[in-house]
Structure 1
Amino acid sequence: MLKPNILIADDHPLLLKGLEDFLKEKKYHIIAACTDGLSAYNAIVKEKPDIAILDIEMPNMTGVDIAKNCKRYNITTKIILNTLHKERRLFEDAVKYNIMGYLLKEFALTEIEACIASVCEGKPYFSEKIYKRFSHVSDENKNIEKLTPSEKKILRLIADEMTSSEIAEFLNISVRTVEKHRANIIKKLDIDQKPNSLLIWSQKNKEQLL
């Protein structure tokens, strides 16, 4: 698939035109350029492009909504998201819904050819800035899943800067039990046994413990 059939969609006309002109200049075959999510999804269903490059935030359907539907109905079009957003949740959605590419608009024109080439080979491609920022997240999530409910509760209290004695009193358990939990948590999370390492980790990842 040297020059795949591509659909593009963005509700900002200037950005859509700029992307279309750039891809055509590079001799890619653009089969449709859509300004809203529903039109893009309908065109994907009808035209079955090899690749769809979609803005995330669009009227009627978001890029993620389109990816969900493509996965649900076994549509083989490979989805690349092109966005300004850098939220962790969107990165995780991209992984969850088999989205093959995630480009930041500020770097899109410098990365898009490499992204298309990678996706054509069946290899996911994420903007370097996004990958560096969030690639460690999945490993941290896996480690958090190893924790028991009691360990998660203690880790949340550690994040609130409670001492072992305060945690023991709050949970009506012994300080020794708290310390045992702390040791198990450090081992499961693979954290350096330096002073305050557990506190720093718990505060950094507090939202993952809710």
Structure 2
Amino acid sequence: MKPSIIIADDHPLLLKGLHDFLSEKRFNIVGQYPDGNAAYNAILKDKPDIAVLDIQMPIMSGIEVAAACKKNKIETKVVLITLHREKDLYLQAKELNIFGYILKEFAIEEIEVCLNSVIEGKPYFSPNITQSLNVDEQADEKLKLLTPSEKKILKLIAEDNSNKEIAELLFISARTVEKHRSNIISKLDLTPKTNSLLLWAKEHSTFLI
């Protein structure tokens, strides 16, 4: 049986266009919804395999639906469609374990490729957005190895805080900060030179949200 898919967009014409296109391509569309709340209720009730969601929708945004799915360990794979190219939004979406991210202007060109990739269990992130944002996928993967505490320390390092200042800000000892620094250097696979961590943190500061 073909994987079940729901779609949600608050623009009726875009919703209909997406529905008609995917139906024509013989994808199994089991529901279409005008806002994020309706889509999330359908995810809870019907447990579709995939949910294609506009990022900006009334009541619940696509990001909020993805966050709720992650929090409640729902297995529906979320694909987000957006008009926006902001890196912060892209990185926030990736933190939510989404399976796809494409720009609306390329949606009809890419949605079929995206869904076929997701059906095979492979996440799809539009080259049109990763290239335009100059997204460093390798850095993104490395950051996933860090604990929340290590990410917080890395962000403070990027802001030119010393070990002593970081210790005071986080109410921990300077020795603990040094131990975290050593672990971060190891996880990021950096050479333990004096400035290697500072330079990496500054270069990738937009990932530290």
TM-score by length of 1: 0.70
Quick check: 120-129 or 5-14, which moved more? 120-129
Which residue number corresponds to residue 139 of structure 2? 139
Which residue number corresponds to residue 69 of structure 2? 70
Which residue number corresponds to residue 117 of structure 1? 116
Q: Deviations over 1:50-86 (max 9, x none)?
A: 1100001000000011111111112111000011111
Which residues in structure 2 correspond to 1:192-203 (within 5 Å)?
A: none
Larger Rg: 1 or 2?
1
Which residues in structure 2 correspond to 1:56-95 (within 5 Å)?
A: 56-95=55-94
Aligned-pair distance for 1:184?
2.9
Paired residues, number: 171
Letter in 2 for 1:32: G
Quick check: 83-92 or 138-147, which moved more? 138-147
> For 1:17, what is the secondary structure of its paired residue?
helix
> For 1:75, what is the secondary structure of its paired residue?
coil
Aligned-pair distance for 1:110?
0.9
- Among 189, 193, 197, the alignment partner of 1:188 is 197
Which residues in structure 2 correspond to 1:2-81 (within 5 Å)?
A: 3-81=2-80
Letter in 2 for 1:188: L
Aligned-pair distance for 1:152?
3.6
CA gap 1:45/1:26 in 2 versus in 1, 3 angstroms: same
Aligned-pair distance for 1:135?
2.8
Can you give the 5+ residue segments of structure 2 that lack an aligned partner in the other structure? 163-192
- Among 147, 154, 160, the alignment partner of 1:153 is 160
Cα distance in 2, alignment partners of residues 151 and 55 from structure 1 = 33
Q: CA RMSD in A?
A: 3.1
Percent identity, please. 47
CA gap 1:134/1:95 in 2 versus in 1, 3 angstroms: farther
Q: Deviations over 1:85-142 (max 9, x none)?
A: 1111221122111100001011111111111111112111011122222431762884
TM-score by length of 2: 0.70
Which residue number corresponds to residue 96 of structure 1? 95
Cα distance in 1, alignment partners of residues 102 and 207 from structure 2 = 25
Letter in 1 for 2:197: K
Letter in 1 for 2:28: H
Cα distance in 2, alignment partners of residues 209 and 69 from structure 1 = 22
Check the 8 A contact 2:88/2:206 in 1, yes or no: no
CA gap 1:120/1:207 in 2 versus in 1, 3 angstroms: closer
Check the 8 A contact 1:38/1:60 in 2, yes or no: yes
